[in-house]
Amino acid sequence: MSRQCAVSKKSHQNGHRVSHANNKTKHVFRVNLQVRRVYVPELKKFVKIRVSTRIIRTLDKLGLQETLRKYKLTVKELLV
C-alpha cells in the first residue's frame, strides 16, 4: 500500500535537513495519512480510506460528494 492520499493523491516530498553548520543531509517529508471510515450513499455502506489530515478537514466541511467533485473523482476511483 503506497503512502499516498486516496483523494488528493498527495505523497512525500524530498528536501534537506540543515544543521547549524549548514550541513545538508537528504530527508523525506512524509504526508500525514490517517485511516478514515466514510459513508458512501451509492454503496449504502461505510468504507475505509487512507486520507491526509487536510482532506479530513475538507470531508468534515463539505462532505464526501462535494469533496470528490472538487478533486474530480468518482466513488469507483476512490476505492481502487
Provide the sign of the torsion angle of the four alpha carbons 55, 34, 47, 7, taken in this order.
positive
Dist CA 11 CA 36 (whole Å) = 17
**What pLDDT sits at residue 37?**
96
**What pLDDT sits at residue 26?**
98
CATH fold of the domain at 13-73: Ribosomal Protein L24e; Chain: T; (2.30.170)
- Cβ count near 4 (within 10 Å): 16
Residue range 16-62, pLDDT digits in tens: 999 999 999 999 999 999 999 999 999 999 999 999 999 999 999 99
The string over 15-39, giving b where at least 16 C-beta atoms fall within 10 Å of a residue's C-beta and e elsewhere, is eeeeeeeeeeeeeeeebebeebebe
Residue 66, pLDDT > 90, answer yes
pTM of the model: 0.84
